Amino acid sequence: MGEAQHVDVVVIGLGVGGEEVAGRLAESGRTVVGVEHGLVGGECPYWGCVPTKMMIRAGDALAESRRIPGLAGSSTQTPDWAPVAKRIREEATDSWDDKVAVDRFTGKGGTFVRGRATIVGPGRVRVGDQEYQASRGLVIATGTAAVVPPVDGLAGTPYWTNREAVEAETLPGSLVVLGGGAIGLELSQVMARFGVDVTVIEGSERVLAMEEPESSETAAAALTEDGVRLCTGVRAQRVGYADGQFTVDLSDGTSRTAEKLLVATGRAARLGDLGLENVGLDPTARFLTTDEWMRAGEKIWAVGDVTGNGNFTHMAMYEADVAVRDILRQGGPAADYRARPRVTFTDPEIGAVGMTGKQARDAGLDVRVGHVPLPQTSRGFIHGPGNAGFIKIIAADGVVVGATTAGPSGGEMIGALVLAVHARVPLATLHSTIWAYPTFHRGIGSALPPVS
Ligand SMILES: Cc1cc2nc3c(=O)[nH]c(=O)nc-3n(C[C@H](O)[C@H](O)[C@H](O)COP(=O)(O)OP(=O)(O)OC[C@H]3O[C@@H](n4cnc5c(N)ncnc54)[C@H](O)[C@@H]3O)c2cc1C
Ligand SMILES: NC(=O)c1ccc[n+]([C@@H]2O[C@H](COP(=O)([O-])OP(=O)(O)OC[C@H]3O[C@@H](n4cnc5c(N)ncnc54)[C@H](O)[C@@H]3O)[C@@H](O)[C@H]2O)c1
């Protein structure tokens, strides 16, 4: 072991959050070492948001063309996965090569180290044979990995996670998906639209179980229309694999077979082998708990999925900004999670912000709820086929505390309500707002609960 290299900050993990922190600190003139054992950019550009949204764009194009009869003549499609796989390989991921991202970071003045980092003491990190001593501190941005549930027989099979699904050059004839959350639903709908026979196994009584019940109903109806079989309230009890076929035995006594099995049962932080015990943090914790400045301990910050505050790229970027300002002692607003947005990119898209009605009631708030089905709005009526969706607004104490916007532009519609929650815009002000006609977002005006 040579001499430790002295720097200002070491950032462990250069996914979305870590890359943002490390890049900004380097640009500000700090000496920064960024350590990444996988690809700089992390899950989002290589196996997450970007490639899956390219898949969804393709699936949505097919679905939209199938809506031409009755609207604009006739149409025929010949779905082909090859252009989707090509876009993912060439445009999204550079064949899973991060040279551009590495150059972007070093171009800002950062020092890049490829390898697995372990914390060996306060401010001290080891990567291979080299140690780094950070005077200002450490930033942990190590993200999450797919959770593989302890189902009998599963571990020894060639199951897919999101990574194999994104890397697939060809699609299987049939697919069983474990988990009806964001990943399960987005990928199931795409694959079904490309002709894959898809079955989703969801342990809860409804898909998208953390969202409004209407979101679950809307997503379930859309996927069923696309030919996806949804099995809710059942769990996989045993998985077998023989002759190129998976067999999944379910808790209701039935079983399903398919060519591929996708595990989409959530994600967990990887804290066990980081050396957290060497700085007084708990390596057995589910996530790294932080204060409102993303401080996880003495001279230790944590940002992104590893904090458990919402597995979303925009949350990783948000927390990165808070941590950077704290590290640079710049001040500004601390982290505030009231207006956390999320979008499930099914068709219809399901945008949401803040609390659901149940969460607001459980928090003891005096809740008022407004709701409008999208087909009953002017734009929904005009849109016709593909207009499923709704807008639901949860208000308390004269402000919006949560909302859901499901529809063809559900992820775009939620923007106005994210601002309303964030800025605590009075309900009365929202009621006097002019919403352009005939937009989908004009439905917000109809969905607003009364002021009192
Ligand atoms: C299929 C899928 C679709 C998604 N779609 C969306 C979406 O549409 N919108 C959205 O907002 N979010 C989406 N997400 C979530 C989004 O990808 C994550 O929230 C985001 O990547 C989190 O960024 P991060 O920096 O916290 O972690 P990550 O991106 O996971 O990066 C962490 C990095 O740390 C590295 N690392 C870990 N341990 C070490 C170590 N000891 N030493 C060195 N390096 C280490 C890892 O290799 C990794 O590159 C999706 C996720 C998936 C899986
Ligand atoms: N559009 C987006 O922003 C987007 C898209 C994909 C993923 N993500 C992020 O990635 C994270 C992970 O996605 P995910 O879909 O894997 O997780 P998730 O937590 O959203 O959903 C997992 C689902 O699997 C179910 N489940 C768990 N164990 C099970 C079992 N043994 N059998 C059957 N069902 C089981 C759960 O009840 C849950 O409904 C999400 O939390 C989300 O934040 C975001």
Residue 64 lies in a domain: no
Closest C-alpha to ligand 2, atom 17: 266
pLDDT at 1 over 90: no
pLDDT of residue 2: 75
CB 137, CB 59: distance < 8 Å: no
Name the residue of 183, 205, 239, 342 to mutate for ligand 2: max ligand atoms within 8 A of Cβ. 183
CA of 311 to the centre of ligand 1 (A): 8
CA proximity to 385, closest of 69, 43, 122, 54:
69
Residue 120 lies in a domain: yes
Ligand 2 closest atom vs CA 234: 33
pLDDT of residue 276: 98
Residue 184 lies in a domain: yes
Shared-domain flag, residues 357 and 229: no
Q: What CATH number has the domain bearing residue 438?
A: 3.30.390.30
Shared-domain flag, residues 132 and 35: yes
How does pLDDT run across 10-65, given as a tens digit for each residue?
999 999 999 999 999 999 999 999 999 999 999 999 999 999 999 999 999 999 99
Q: State the Cα–Cα distance between residues 283 and 140, nearest whole angstrom.
A: 13
Last residue of a domain, one of 300, 327, 354: 327
Q: What strands lie across the sheet with 245-250, from one edge to the other?
A: 236-242, 245-250, 255-258
pLDDT of residue 422: 98
User: Is 266 assigned a ligand-binding role in the annotation?
Assistant: yes
**Ligand sitting nearest the alpha carbon of 44:** 1
Shared-domain flag, residues 182 and 204: yes
- Give the Å distances, CA to CA, from 221 to 185, 192, 229: 12, 14, 11
CA-angle at 12, arms to 118 and 299, nearest 5°? 90
The response to whether residue 234 sits with its C-beta less than 6 Å from ligand 2 reads: no
Q: State the Cα–Cα distance between residues 15 and 42, nearest whole angstrom.
A: 4
* Domain tally, the chain: 3
pLDDT of residue 145: 97
Sign of CA dihedral 265, 224, 219, 359: negative
Ligand 2 closest atom vs CA 149: 31
The response to whether residue 264 sits with its C-beta less than 6 Å from ligand 2 reads: yes
Shared-domain flag, residues 174 and 314: no
Shared-domain flag, residues 239 and 173: yes
Q: State the Cα–Cα distance between residues 301 and 326, nearest whole angstrom.
A: 9
Q: State the Cα–Cα distance between residues 144 and 104, nearest whole angstrom.
A: 23
The response to whether residue 89 sits with its C-beta less than 6 Å from ligand 1 reads: no
The dihedral over CA atoms of 191, 404, 369, 209, expressed in degrees to the nearest 10, equals: 50
Which amino acid makes up residue 154? Answer: L
Mean pLDDT of the chain: 98
Residue 93 lies in a domain: no
The response to whether residue 52 sits with its C-beta less than 6 Å from ligand 1 reads: yes
CA of 179 to the centre of ligand 2 (A): 6
CA of 189 to the centre of ligand 2 (A): 15
CA of 366 to the centre of ligand 2 (A): 30
Percent of the chain whose pLDDT exceeds 90: 99
The response to whether residue 414 sits with its C-beta less than 6 Å from ligand 2 reads: no
Residue 74 lies in a domain: no
The response to whether residue 267 sits with its C-beta less than 6 Å from ligand 2 reads: yes
User: Is 53 assigned a ligand-binding role in the annotation?
Assistant: yes
User: Is 86 assigned a ligand-binding role in the annotation?
Assistant: no
CA of 74 to the centre of ligand 1 (A): 42
Shared-domain flag, residues 320 and 441: no
Q: State the Cα–Cα distance between residues 3 and 404, nearest whole angstrom.
A: 55
Closest C-alpha to ligand 1, atom 31: 15
Range of the structural domain that residue 12 is part of: 5-41+98-145+268-327
Three-class SS of the chain:
CCCCEEEEEEEECCEHHHHHHHHHHHHCCCCEEEEECCCCECHHHHHCHHHHHHHHHHHHHHHHHCCCECCCECCCCCCCCHHHHHHHHHHHCCCCCCHHHHHHHHHCCCEEEECCEEEEECCEEEECCEEEEEEEEEEECCCEEECCCCCECHHHCCCECHHHHHHCCCCCCEEEEECCCHHHHHHHHHHHHCCCEEEEEECCCCCCCCCCHHHHHHHHHHHHHCCCEEEECCCEEEEEEECCEEEEEECCCCEEEECEEEECCCEEECCCCCCHHHHCCCCCCCCCCCCCCCEEECCEEECHHHHCCCCCHHHHHHHHHHHHHHHCCCCCCCCCCCCCEEEECCCCEEEEEECCHHHHHHCCCCEEEEEEEHHHCHHHHHHCCCCCCEEEEEEECCEEEEEEEEECCHHHHHHHHHHHHHCCCEHHHHHCCCCCCCCCCCHHHHHCCCCC
Shared-domain flag, residues 104 and 235: no
Shared-domain flag, residues 197 and 184: yes
User: Is 43 assigned a ligand-binding role in the annotation?
Assistant: no
Last residue of a domain, one of 217, 240, 265: 265
pLDDT of residue 452: 79
The response to whether residue 323 sits with its C-beta less than 6 Å from ligand 1 reads: no
The response to whether residue 13 sits with its C-beta less than 6 Å from ligand 1 reads: yes
Average pLDDT over residues 67-73: 97
CA of 265 to the centre of ligand 1 (A): 16
CA of 168 to the centre of ligand 2 (A): 20
Shared-domain flag, residues 183 and 199: yes
User: Is 109 assigned a ligand-binding role in the annotation?
Assistant: no
How does pLDDT run across 288-340, given as a tens digit for each residue?
999 999 999 999 999 999 999 999 999 999 999 999 999 999 999 999 999 99
pLDDT of residue 243: 97
Shared-domain flag, residues 206 and 353: no
pLDDT of residue 60: 98
Average pLDDT over residues 257-276: 97
Which amino acid makes up residue 35? Answer: V
Q: State the Cα–Cα distance between residues 354 and 424, nearest whole angstrom.
A: 12
Q: State the Cα–Cα distance between residues 430 and 368, nearest whole angstrom.
A: 15
CA of 266 to the centre of ligand 2 (A): 4
Ligand 1 closest atom vs CA 53: 8
The response to whether residue 265 sits with its C-beta less than 6 Å from ligand 2 reads: yes
Residue 91 lies in a domain: no
How does pLDDT run across 330-389, given as a tens digit for each residue?
999 999 999 999 999 999 999 999 999 999 999 999 999 999 999 999 999 999 999 999
CA-angle at 206, arms to 408 and 265, nearest 5°? 90
Distance of CA 326 to the CA centre of its chain: 25
Residue 9 lies in a domain: yes
Residue corresponding to tokens 């390219």: 54
Last residue of a domain, one of 327, 352, 377: 327
CA of 254 to the centre of ligand 2 (A): 23
Shared-domain flag, residues 290 and 362: no
Shared-domain flag, residues 28 and 17: yes
The response to whether residue 209 sits with its C-beta less than 6 Å from ligand 2 reads: yes
Residue 10 lies in a domain: yes
Q: Is the ipTM of this complex over 0.95?
A: yes
Average pLDDT over residues 210-220: 98
Sign of CA dihedral 17, 23, 28, 31: positive
